[in-house]
Amino acid sequence: DAGITQSPRHKVTETGTPVTLRCHQTENHRYMYWYRQDPGHGLRLIHYSYGVKDTDKGEVSDGYSVSRSKTEDFLLTLESATSSQTSVYFCAISESIGNQPQHFGDGTRLSIL
Amino acid sequence: QKEVEQDPGPLSVPEGAIVSLNCTYSNSAFQYFMWYRQYSRKGPELLMYTYSSGNKEDGRFTAQVDKSSKYISLFIRDSQPSDSATYLCAMSETGRRALTFGSGTRLQVQP
A29 C-beta neighbours (distance < 10 Å), count: 20
Chain-chain contact of A40 with B103 (C-beta, under 8 angstroms): yes
Residue A27 — left, alpha, or beta (φ > 0 → left; ψ -120 to 50 → alpha)?
alpha
Residue A99 with chain B: CB contacts under 8 Å: 31-32, 51, 92, 94-95
Helix (H, G, I), strand (E, B) or coil at B81: helix
B91-102 per-position pLDDT tens digit: 988 777 678 999
What pLDDT sits at residue A2?
66
What pLDDT sits at residue B35?
97
What pLDDT sits at residue B52?
82
Interface test with A, best of B97, B101, B106 (most A CBs within 10 A): B97
pLDDT interval class at A96 (50, 70, 90): confident
pLDDT interval class at A90 (50, 70, 90): very high
Residues B65, B50: contact at Cβ < 8 Å? yes
Q: Are strands B11-14 and B32-38 parallel, antiparallel or unpaired?
A: unpaired
What pLDDT sits at residue A65?
97
Contacts of A102 (CB under 8 A, 6+ apart): A31, A33, A92, A93, A94, B46, B99
Cα–Cα distance, A77 to A99 (Å, whole number)? 28
Chain-chain contact of A59 with B98 (C-beta, under 8 angstroms): yes
